[in-house]
C-alpha cells in the first residue's frame, strides 16, 4: 500500500510539473478557443500600456495608435524568449515601412540585463520595463513569452501564448493589415 501511495504521489508530481511547464511556455488556451496557427483570436481593447523603456524614455502604447502594433512580453531568463527574439527582430525590419510597430515589455527582469539583451540581439524597437509584472494582468497574459497583435484602432486581435516564429506572426500581422480599412 505504501508503494502505491508513493507511485500516486510521483505521478501527481510529474503531472503537476508538466502542467506548470506548459503554463510557463504558453502551451495553449484553456477555453478551447485557440485557433489559427496556435494563436487565440481576440476582440478587446488593448490596455493603456505605458512606462519607461529600457533606455529610460517614457512611452505609451497610445503613442503608436494608427499602426498595427505587435506587443511581445519577454525576459532575459526565458529560454523561449531567447529563441524567438531573432525572428521578432527580423520581422520588425520587414514591417518597418508598412505601418507596423513592435513593442517589447520586459517582464519581471533586471533592467541592466534587459539592456544587454537588446544590444546582443540588436533589437530595433523599444521595450517598456515592467519589473513588478504589473502589465501582465491587464493583457490576457498566460506566460512568457506572450505576443499580442493589436490593430490600428487599438483592439487586440490575436494573442500568441508561448513562443512564436516569423511564419506564424507574419500570417497574423498580414491578416490584420488586410482587414484594415483602406
Least confident span in 14-23, 81-90, 145-154: 14-23
Tell me, what's the pLDDT at 176? 96
Q: If pLDDT is split at 50, 70 and 90, which confidence band does 9 have?
A: very low
Q: Is 124 left (phi over 0), alpha (psi -120 to 50) or beta?
A: alpha
Which ranges of 29-129 does DSSP label H, i.e. alpha helix?
A: 79-95, 111-121
Provide the pLDDT for residue 148: 97
In the structure, what pLDDT confidence band is assigned to residue 17 with cuts at 50, 70 and 90? very low
Question: What are the extents of the domains in the chain?
Answer: 2-179
182 pLDDT more than 60: yes
Query: Which pTM value belongs to this model?
Result: 0.81
Provide the strand spans (E) within 33-154.
40-45, 50-52, 58-60, 68-74, 100-107, 127-130, 146-150
Nearest one of 165, 154, 160 to 140, comparing CA atoms: 160
**Cα–Cα distance between 60 and 120 in angstroms, integer?**
25
- Sign of CA pseudo-dihedral 81, 86, 91, 93: positive
pLDDT band at 175 (very low <50, low <70, confident <90, very high): very high
Q: Which CATH number fits domain 2-179: 3.40.30.10, 3.30.365.10, 3.40.50.150, 1.10.10.10?
A: 3.40.30.10
Amino acid at each position: 500500500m505504501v508503494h502505491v501511495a508513493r507511485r500516486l504521489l510521483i505521478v501527481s508530481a510529474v503531472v503537476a510539473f508538466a502542467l506548470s511547464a506548459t503554463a510557463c511556455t504558453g502551451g495553449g488556451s484553456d477555453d478551447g478557443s485557440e485557433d489559427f496557427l496556435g494563436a487565440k483570436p481576440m476582440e478587446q481593447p488593448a490596455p493603456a500600456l505605458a512606462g519607461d523603456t529600457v533606455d529610460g524614455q517614457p512611452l505609451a502604447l497610445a503613442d503608436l495608435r494608427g499602426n498595427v502594433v505587435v506587443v511581445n512580453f519577454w525576459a532575459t531568463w526565458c529560454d523561449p524568449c531567447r529563441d524567438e527574439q531573432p525572428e521578432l527582430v527580423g520581422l520588425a525590419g520587414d514591417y518597418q515601412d508598412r505601418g507596423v510597430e513592435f513593442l517589447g515589455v520586459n517582464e519581471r527582469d533586471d533592467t541592466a540585463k534587459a539592456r544587454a539583451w537588446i544590444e546582443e540581439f540588436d533589437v530595433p524597437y523599444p521595450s517598456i520595463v515592467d519589473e513588478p509584472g504589473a502589465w501582465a494582468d491587464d493583457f490576457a497574459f498566460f506566460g512568457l513569452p506572450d505576443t499580442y497583435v493589436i490593430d490600428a484602432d487599438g483592439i487586440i486581435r490575436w494573442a500568441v501564448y508561448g513562443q512564436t516564429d516569423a511564419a506564424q506572426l507574419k500570417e497574423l500581422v498580414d491578416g490584420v493589415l488586410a482587414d484594415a480599412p483602406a
